[in-house]
Each structure stands twice: as C-alpha cells, then as structure tokens.
Structure 1
Amino acid sequence: MSVAKNLRLLRRIRGLTLEELSEQVGISVSYLSRIESGNRRVTEPLLFKLSELLQCDPTEILSDEPPEKQIASLGFTSLSFHRKNQPEKVSELMELLEKVAGQLQDSTASLPKIPVFTSHYFKNNPWTSQSSSETSTLDGVPLSEPTDWLPCPPELTTVQNAFAYNVVNDDMTPRYNPGDIVFANPQKPLMPGCFALVIKQDDTSALRQFVKSTGDTFTLKSYQDGTEETLPMSAIKGIYRIVGSRELA
C-alpha cells in the first residue's frame, strides 16, 4: 500500500472526513486531498501529527507492506509510538519516508503533467495588464514560467490550456486559502458564485465571481467589495473557471 492509500484508509477507519482531519491537523482540505491522491509528500512534522490524531504508528502511514509486518520490522508497539521515547527510530522512519516518496515519484513519472503558476493575474481588483516580467505561455493568459509541475488530474488531461495555480493571497478565502492548489479550466461551465479568471480583449484581467449570463453579456462581481459589472461578450477574450480538486468532475 502507498502513503496515500494508507492515510485514506486510516482516516476512514477513524470515521473522519477530509474536512474534519484537515481542521484538526491545521492544514487546508486541498493540501490533505493532494496527499491522499499521491500528489504531495508527507513532511516529518506532519507525519507525526497525523499519526497522533489517527492513533496509529507513523509506520502504518508510510508502509508499503501490511501494517503489522512493517511495525514488527521496526520494533514499534501499535498505538504506543512517541518520538521523544524512541529517538533511535526516527532516522529509520525517515529513511522509510524517503523510500516510499521515491516509489511514489517513480509511479507518477509517466503521468501527464500540468503546470503550476503564480501570477499577478490572480487579483480581485483592479483589472490588471500584463507586466514586462511575464510572458504569454498560454493562449490569452500571460504568466511567468511554471513554478512546479504536478500529475494532471484525469478530468483535465484533454482540456487544452488548463493549468494549476498556487494560491498566495486571500482573494478567494474562505473557499480557497493561501497554500491551496486550484485549477483554471477554460471549458468547465460557469455556475453562479463560482470564481473565474476573466481576460478582456485589451489583455487586462481580473479574478471575479460569476453572477449570470444573458447570452450577450456577462455579469461579474468583485469578491472584495461586492461591486457588480456587466460586460458585453464581445469585450471578453476568455474565461477560466477556477476549481478546487473536489470540483474537477
């Protein structure tokens, strides 16, 4: 079993939802979801926090063998691991973490990748023009070089120009928080209240909430101050709906 499968199984055994466990751990739901999907590594502090909350040995999260066999091989007593009481086991545990992480990396190496960007384009106010420090790497969307590449979610493998964005501000809280990875999908239908990256024909852009469309116009709302504006469809070059990992389908 992988770290992702172990963690998901242990969470379900404890009867916890993603939201409940992420709140107890102190991380975002999307961060925990990426760990459970195998797209994010478990750090040492997080590993011990998770094992404490799930009432298990850290090896039960890391193991690629049946938990009982792995616990016995490292000499842990189930439900009794304490880092301060067994410091000699920490190095063995982290070696196991590196091993499993390497296996996870190998298993995802052949999967399609999606670029992760950070850009001034993602702002609520005002309409922002392209800066000289950014280059147009996607059709109609000026962005800097990708800061990372992630395995592409199956729902986006056939979506041209879809990309991921690392949230760095509070422009979309509480739905999406700093540190979350969200996805920009130019093909997903807009729904009232959803976030969208809107690019106008003059190449200015802004992050807005979609209100409604009449066929000839789009009504958008600033999330910060609630101001609404209606734009003719002819003024819009493109709209990328912003979705979290749980909204991809």
Structure 2
Amino acid sequence: MTDAPLIAILDDEPQIRRLLSHALEQAGFRTQSFARATEFEAALRRITPDACLIDLGLPDRDGLALVHRLASESGAVIIIVSGRAQVQDRVTGLELGADDYITKPFEPAEVVARIRARLRRPAQGAASRPRTLRFAGWSADFDRYLLTAPDGTETPLSHAEAEVLRLFTDNPRRLITRAQMLETLGGTAGDSFDRAMDVRISRLRTKLGEDPKNPRLIKTIYGAGYIFLAEIT
C-alpha cells in the first residue's frame, strides 16, 4: 500500500524499533526505522513521514532539540516515546512542539491507537474546505503549514498548532469547549490533554503576536473554553 501513512521511528534500541515496526505494519502503516539522529535527519531530505516517533535518549543528539526542529520545520505528527517519565519532561516535550508523549514501557496497541487518532481521516466534507484562509490581515496555509503575518512575515506551524488553528477557523465566533477539542483533535482526557491544549494555544498566540493579557483573536472563556474572534475570508 504505497499510499499508507509513513511512520518514522527513531530509537537506539533495536528491540524497540522492531516492536514498533511490527505493530505499525500489522496495522497497515509503512515504517522506516533509524538508530541515530544523523541517519534520521539525512533521510528527511528524501522522505516525508506522516508521523515521527522520537526517543529522547539518543546517542548522538539531544532528542528535545530534534523535536523542536521538527515542530518548526515539518508538518509531521511528532510523538515522543521515552523512558523519561517525569512530569517536567512531558511538559517540556509538549512545549517544544510534540503532539503527544508516551512513556516506556508501553503497549504497542496504544502507540498505534494514538497515531491513528492523530492521523485520523478528514471529517466528511473536509476535502472541499479552503486550504488557505485569511483573518484579521493574517493568512494560514494548511497545506504548507505556514502562517503569514499582515507584513508578509512567514512563520511555520507545527502539525499540532495547525490542527488547533483549523478548529478555530472552522468555528469562528463560537465557543469551543475542551470536550469539543478532545472529540475533534483526539487524545486522552485528563491533565496531559489539557496541558497540551494550553501549550498549543499559547504558541499560537505567540505566533499571532497576541498580548497574553489582552488577546484579540483567541479569547479564553474561563471554565468554558475559547472563542476565535476574527472574521474568516
């Protein structure tokens, strides 16, 4: 199936790579595995993975720095798979642009389920939606994962940021609750999901030049959710 999503696996443990590759290929995905960050980064010049599974404990590169680069330059889903189980590691990974964080040891079925949730099929009618939208002088290109400011400055969007922005632009001037975010974006209810949403919205606000104390575009309704205030054109 050449059109099956491609999952890149970066982990220095051979048994982990084999375990993940087998589970994902059994689920219908294509995979490519790498033991070192240098091999992975070289491969990115010729492949475009739909999702990347990244271990943080790499022998030749800081895994968090690699996550940050991928989030800045790629539209791929980024899922950290790491033995680091501290809350601060999870928070840092999400803040640097990861879409999800799975701790070792893990169940392969859980990894497959989380990737499926992130790479879910577009909702009915999504193919007819405009791929470039304009609002308040800004332009968002969801094919190129690119945000363009009123002065023409271009800023890349991570996959996670683009998902949230698309949800907002699909529902302008309407309250978006955490429950709606969970249903639309996928994930597991709880503090980790809430923290991930907070991080993504904070990064979006920064890229949109928002004043965190008085945002003009993404308004927080405390205890309820968010409202995207711009008109979409």
Structure 2 length as normaliser, TM-score?
0.25
Higher Cα radius of gyration: 1
TM-score after normalising by structure 1 = 0.24
